[in-house]
């Protein structure tokens, strides 16, 4: 074989390993979840509504491609993204799909059609309203995701605890809820529940990976409760 051709074939085969690893919607969902925080296979299975066995198989494909790694933590095995570039890979794929495929917009609009219109906030407006104490910012993801990274000053109030903790929220301020990103439904359900209880509530579409990618400060740790 022509050595030039052999060289090119070998190089593109290595690049194709990444393409094969992410060529499954469930693996993309796993990457999206791991952009939030490291997780065990059991946690990933629960959050993605998959069996532990199926989740393990998908993780093995991602691990073989060096997109995720695993570390022991006591008796548990915790999966994490190999580095920030893996999250950027997911975000870039998402962005390309949004740009090239009208179905992305159609699917989203169909899902939101019968729901109350959502107000959009840009970051500058959000920061100004937070500074003037006009809004309360809620992180409605699970507590471990909040601890791994959140908007500075955001209050952790996971969706499954929301209705039991409504008394902690001021009635005279708008509540802005965010979760994992534009296609996460946790903040949508939180805003709906808050409106049903008389609160003025807004869903913020962006999530921590989007803010981090833009270079905005992200807080870590803290008391999630």
Where along the chain do its domains lie? 3-91, 110-213
The Cα–Cα gap between 142 and 160 comes to 9
Q: Looking at 35, 87, 179, 184, which residue is catalytic?
A: 179
> Known catalytic residue: 179?
yes
pLDDT for residue 112 = 79
- Please tell me the total number of residues recorded for the chain in this structure: 225
Closest CA to 61 of 101, 17, 91: 17
What would the CATH number be for the domain defined by 110-213? Answer: 3.40.250.10
Question: How much is the pLDDT for 136?
Answer: 94
Among the four given CATH numbers 1.10.10.10, 1.10.3720.10, 1.20.1730.10, 3.20.20.450, the one describing domain 3-91? 1.10.10.10
pLDDT in the model for residue 189:
93
pTM for the whole structure: 0.91
Q: How far apart are CA 211 and CA 198, in angstroms?
A: 30
Q: Is 133 left (phi over 0), alpha (psi -120 to 50) or beta?
A: left
Specify the pLDDT at position 224: 44
Q: Write down the pLDDT at residue 225.
A: 43
- What is the CA angle 219-168-199, rounded to 5? 100
For position 131, what pLDDT does the model report? Answer: 85
- Could you identify the residue written with the tokens 């791994």? 148
> Within the chain, which residues score under 70 in pLDDT?
114-121, 222-225
Asked if residues 118 and 112 have their Cβ atoms less than 8 Å apart, the reply is yes
């Amino acid at each position: 074989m022509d050595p030039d051709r052999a060289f090119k074939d070998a190089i593109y085969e290595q690049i194709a390993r990444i393409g094969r690893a992410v060529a499954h919607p469930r693996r993309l969902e796993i990457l999206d979840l791991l952009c939030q925080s490291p997780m065990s296979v059991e946690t990933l299975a629960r959050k993605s509504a998959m069996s532990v066995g199926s989740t393990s198989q998908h993780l093995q494909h991602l691990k073989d491609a060096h997109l995720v790694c695993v570390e022991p933590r006591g008796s548990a095995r915790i999966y994490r993204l190999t580095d920030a570039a893996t999250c950027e890979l997911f975000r870039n794929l998402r962005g390309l799909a949004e740009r090239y495929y009208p179905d992305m917009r159609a699917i989203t609009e169909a899902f939101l059609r019968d729901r109350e219109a959502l107000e959009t906030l840009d970051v500058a407006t959000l920061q100004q309203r937070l500074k003037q104490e006009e809004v309360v910012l809620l992180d409605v993801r699970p507590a471990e995701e909040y601890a791994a990274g959140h908007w500075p000053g955001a209050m952790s109030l996971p969706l499954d605890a929301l209705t039991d903790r409504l008394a902690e929220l001021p009635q005279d301020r708008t509540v802005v809820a965010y979760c994992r990103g534009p296609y996460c439904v946790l903040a949508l359900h939180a805003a709906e529940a808050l409106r049903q209880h008389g609160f003025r509530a807004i869903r913020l579409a962006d999530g921590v990976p989007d803010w981090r990618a833009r270079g905005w400060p992200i807080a870590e740790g803290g008391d999630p409760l």
